[in-house]
Amino acid sequence: MTLEVHGLRKRFGDVQALDGVEFAVKPGEVFGFLGSNGAGKTTTMRIILGLLRADEGEVTWRGTPASAWPCGTWGYMPEERGLYPRMPVLEQLLFYASLYGIGRARARRDAEEWLRRFRIGEYADRTADSLSKGNQQKVQFIATVLHDPDVLIMDEPFTGLDPVNAALLRAAFLEMRDRGKTLVFSTHQLDTAEALCETVAIIDHGRVVTGGSTREVRRSTGHQVVRVATAEDGDGTWLSSLPHVTVTRPGEDYTELRVDAGSDPQAVLRAAIATGHEVLRFEVADPSLEEVFVEQVGAVQVDEERTLAAAGGVR
Amino acid sequence: MNSLPNIRAIARRELTVRLRTRAFRFGTLVLLAGVLAIAFAPLIVRAIEGSTTERIAVVDASGLAADPVATLDAILAPPGGDPDTAILVTAVPTLDAGLGGERDGTYVGVLTIRRAASGELEFRLYTDERPANRIPQLIAQAAATLTAQDRLVRLGVGPAAQASLFAGTDFSVEGTDPERASAPASVVEEGAQVMLGFGLTILIFMMILLYGNWVAMSVVEEKSSRVMEVILNAATPFQLLSGKVLGVGGAAAVQYAAILLVGGIALAVQDPVSSLVLGQSASTLALPEGLTIGVLLMFVIYGVLGFLLYAVLYAAAGSLVSRQEDVNSVVQPLTLLASVGYIVAVYTSIGLIDVGGAPLTILSLFPFTSPFMVLSRTLEGTIAPWEVGLSLAILVVSIVGALWVAARIYAAGVLLYGQRPSVRTVWQVVRTGS
């Protein structure tokens, strides 16, 4: 009873865009799709929605092929834009809703309610291109949910939003989840994904590198993160002498360390006590998604792919 | 899934948005101004010029028995003739007196007549007009008539005998083609029909080119704004394509209806306006001959069907590019196709090229040229009813076929970004649908 994506493969000319993408999202879950530009997120979403045909593999929702479900099951928010530039906001929301057979009165009531909620009620009669990018994105989100779909597929919904708008959108996400909707979205903002998603998948070069519940993924590397601070003012040389430990973030208040898989973080605490100074802080945590992502995909590559995408490569 | 509500919603959006754009309103106003200007042009010209009747001065030193001024007057301004085209003849005593009148604009020229040493009449026209212009030509004809009369007199043929000599000729052209139902009865009528065919063909051509481009631009706008992806979740490419073509077609119909309405009203009120402004009726201005309800109906049918055929292909072409700047290059083959059909149609109808029977039939049946060909051939009366029927059937079938092909190109093309698909890719898409 899930949204299941099985072994998707898709080739554009010489580029193998998807090379066996596989993941599952339970109904009522928020799923984060993480990957660099060009990793295959948009292509996967388009295949889920039936906009593209996969060369191989299949997508099912509640056990039935995704294409067999009525179009109203799905709500799609493409990356950037997705609105008629020179059409008034409310009017195009009503137009979109009418394509799903939503009555005008209901669509108008819901659209106005959402616009108010997103604090853009006064822009209802303005053309989309007169709105700021963040406001356009909120309108786009309304267009995605207005026909009350079961599954929301959103491509980079948080890109370009200021913190206030991002918080409004996050709240809307959680509300949709509480209403039993399934949310799938791609993002570069790993802290957002960490805060919102029950499950995530990291995709790279058309393959899911790591996937599962957010907690599992954070633990997938086997590393642990230790934050430690002692009363000693020194340079922390005692840390670098510890085996299986790497300083990842030296800082004023505390030092962040990575403890290799299989090693005991408590060894750090023992070493800290052994320095003879007072231990002010000691904390063991899972690595953040960002750390996992960087380790799995590599930071350098992110820039590389961006250049490729900007040059007009296939996504 | 029932297609109609979606097609209707898409068409309605397209229409309302289109009607609201500044380009549409401004364009319509410009066209209306053009129509009014054309409709009232003769009236305006006449109002500005006052009387358009031209005068020439004649210095007669010929010593002819019959007054040449009266004869010239009878030839150049025949009683009962059109006052606009008449040339009034005034006798003046000397060339200088006539030239004075020419300088101050009273006369367009001065004609001197004298008898040369050879005994023949000698005519000299002093004027700024070019020799090939209407007035020198008409005066040359009148001079030829006078010379002939003079020679006959000198040969001893009396005025009565001359009258029978110059009586009208019984001549008419009879068609040899039994299918040619309505051969034009006169040169004037034929000219009017050719002009009408010409004009209506231009209107169809403009409609296809202008509104076809609108369709392509609108597709690209949806594609570049990624609206397409959102809509394709709710509507099929076929619905999107049909709705768009119908919506733009509706906007086109509004524009054409406005033009026809204003043009019709302008023609209808021409008489009252004319008598108000000029104090005379505009009797010479009338609907073009041959513009019957049947012809108008054919114009509408071929215009609409031609537009539909080209528009769906324009939409498919537009779906292949993702930037407005690339639209022109991608629709070029279609524009070229329409231009060739249009030019061939116009050239055959005015007789500049004679393609002959079989090619003419083929061009009248080929769906990309028939919207241009059939109308002018109908006006000429050179088309058989079966050709009209068959061409309509082929056109309708072609539209259905084009819709099928276009929907496939569209479905694949709308998701191609940043790459211009090759002819091979397009062909593969049409064949396999993916």
Q: Please write the tens of the pLDDT for every residue from B26-53.
A: 988 988 888 888 777 767 766 666 555 7
Note whether B229 contacts A143, CB cutoff 8 Å: no
For chain A, the farthest-separated pair of C-alpha atoms sits apart, in whole angstroms, at 73
Q: Please write the tens of the pLDDT for every residue from A34-47.
A: 888 888 888 899 88
d(CA B338, CA B30): 24
B201, B371 contact by CB (below 8 A): no
Residue B286 pLDDT greater than 60, yes or no: no
Measured between beta carbons, the chain B residues lying within 8 angstroms of A78 are 226, 229-230
B136, B54 contact by CB (below 8 A): no
Note whether B17 contacts A81, CB cutoff 8 Å: no
The pLDDT assigned to B422 comes to 67
A96, B234 contact by CB (below 8 A): yes
- Measured between CA atoms, how close is A64 to chain B, in angstroms? 18
Buried b (16+ CB within 10 A) or exposed e, A114-144: bbeebebeebbeebbeebeebbbbbbbbbbb
A1: pLDDT confidence band, cut at 50, 70 and 90? low
Mean pLDDT score, A205-222: 83
A25, A32 contact by CB (below 8 A): no
Residue B351 pLDDT greater than 70, yes or no: no
For the record, the structure tokens of A66 come out as 């995704």
The residue in chain A having the minimum alpha-carbon distance to the alpha carbon of residue B232 is A51
Measured between beta carbons, the chain B residues lying within 8 angstroms of A70 are 1
CB contact B226 to A (< 8 Å) = yes
Residue of B21, B220, B229, B240 to mutate, testing the A interface (most A Cβ within 10 Å of its Cβ): B229
Q: CB atoms < 10 A from the CB of B178, how many?
A: 7
Q: Please write the tens of the pLDDT for every residue from B225-244.
A: 888 888 888 888 888 889 99
Residue A314 pLDDT greater than 80, yes or no: no
Which single residue is written with the structure tokens 């599962």? A212
Mean pLDDT score, B350-373: 78
Mean pLDDT score, B395-403: 92
Q: Residue A87 is inside which H or E element, if any?
A: none
Residue of A12, A49, A56, A99 to mutate, testing the B interface (most B Cβ within 10 Å of its Cβ): A99
Phi, psi angle pair for B114, to nearest 5°: -145, 165
B247: pLDDT confidence band, cut at 50, 70 and 90? very high
A210, A292 contact by CB (below 8 A): yes
Q: CB atoms < 10 A from the CB of B181, how many?
A: 13
Note whether A96 contacts B232, CB cutoff 8 Å: no
Lowest mean pLDDT among A122-131, B182-191, B415-424: B182-191
Q: Please write the tens of the pLDDT for every residue from A117-174.
A: 999 989 999 999 899 888 999 999 999 999 989 999 999 998 888 888 899 999 999 9
B364, B383 contact by CB (below 8 A): yes
- Which residues numbered 137-176 in B keep a CB inside 8 Å of some CB on A? none
Residue A287 pLDDT greater than 90, yes or no: no
CB contact B232 to A (< 8 Å) = yes
Q: Please write the tens of the pLDDT for every residue from B48-106.
A: 665 557 888 888 887 776 777 777 887 777 766 666 667 888 888 888 888 888 888 88
Mean pLDDT, chain B, rounded, equals 80
C-alpha angle B367-B370-B372 in degrees, rounded to nearest 5: 130
- % of chain B residues with pLDDT over 90: 11
Residue A313 pLDDT greater than 50, yes or no: no
Q: Which comes out higher in pLDDT, residue B191 or A238? A: A238
A148: left (phi over 0), alpha (psi -120 to 50) or beta: left
For the record, the structure tokens of B288 come out as 């073009």
B410, B236 contact by CB (below 8 A): no
Note whether B226 contacts A99, CB cutoff 8 Å: no
CB contact B3 to A (< 8 Å) = no
C-alpha angle A238-A243-A246 in degrees, rounded to nearest 5: 75
Mean pLDDT score, A104-114: 92
CB contact B432 to A (< 8 Å) = no
A259, A224 contact by CB (below 8 A): yes
Which single residue is written with the structure tokens 């109002």? B47
Residue of A46, A48, A56, A98 to mutate, testing the B interface (most B Cβ within 10 Å of its Cβ): A98
Measured between beta carbons, the chain B residues lying within 8 angstroms of A9 are none
